[in-house]
A and B are shown apart, each in its own frame.
Chain A
Amino acid sequence: QVQLQESGPGLVKPSQTLSLTCTVSGGSFSSGSYYWTWIRQPAGRGLEWIGRIFTSGSTNYNPSLKSRVTMSVDTSKNQFSLMLSSVTAADTAVYYCARGYSGYDWGLDYWGQGTLVTVSS
């Protein structure tokens, strides 16, 4: 069974960099049939795609966040990470990591439980 688990600080100060890591267990992390993605959800609001990364290192980012986002992958640890710089209160949200699967037309078939990140001084 594939499991994803987000980890990282739950509180980040304004103007600083938010850093999260997603650890994947089960399945074949490095398969080209998958990509790894971050999605966030402010309280009481909808889902926002942040970006995706393949284990080759290829990335795509949400154009509205592109200037502040960096994603990376560590295949030796079955982990991928998110860095979001210059955060403001508007970046406060539950952050999810998820897997996109080519067999489901790149639909997101496994998700982490989500981690709340609050931006506040």
Chain B
Amino acid sequence: QSVLTQPPSASGTPGQRVTISCSGSSSNIGSHTVNWYQQLPGTAPKLLIYNNNQRPSGVPDRFSGSKSGTSASLAISGLQSEDEADYYCAAWDDSLDRVFGGGTKLTVL
């Protein structure tokens, strides 16, 4: 059971906007910034969002992040077939532990 809670699945059609939620507590998301990772099938995860809403160079601006209180969200606009992947949120916890969400499998219909 993961410390951060994500819905196990999400879906959308091409061109649509989808959001993925990540719920934590005061000891992790409530006190620390959130990262998001994208894991395409059979590959290592890739950093999508850092510091709640910042994108590393090379990440399309279709991906955006937000945080409020003890929850965070990843939004993907203009959904494309290549966005089909697993998405993970992550944050530091006050125990000096890096915690992840259980992952959300995004299906592009």
Interchain CA distance A96-B74 in the complex, whole Å? 24
**Cβ contacts under 8 Å, B108 to chain A:** none
Contact, CB under 8 Å: A60 / B96: yes
Of the residues B33, B51, B103, contact of A47 by C-beta under 8 Å: B103
Total interface residues on B, using CB and 8 Å?
25
Q: Does A62 contact B (CB under 8 A)?
A: yes
Contact, CB under 8 Å: B47 / A109: yes
Contact, CB under 8 Å: B47 / A47: no
**Cβ contacts under 8 Å, B43 to chain A:** 113
Q: Does A87 contact B (CB under 8 A)?
A: no
**Cβ contacts under 8 Å, A96 to chain B:** 44-45
**Cβ contacts under 8 Å, A104 to chain B:** 47, 50-51, 54, 56
Q: Does B37 contact A (CB under 8 A)?
A: yes
Interface string of B75-109 (1 = CB under 8 A from A): 00000000000001010100111111111000000
Q: Does B68 contact A (CB under 8 A)?
A: no
**How distant is B4 from chain A, measured CB to nearest CB, in Å?**
10
Q: Does B35 contact A (CB under 8 A)?
A: yes
Instruction: Please name 12 pairs of A and B residues whose Cβ atoms are closer than 8 Å in the assembled complex, sorted by A.
Output: A46-B102, A47-B45, A48-B100, A49-B90, A49-B98, A49-B99, A104-B51, A104-B54, A107-B56, A108-B37, A109-B47, A111-B45
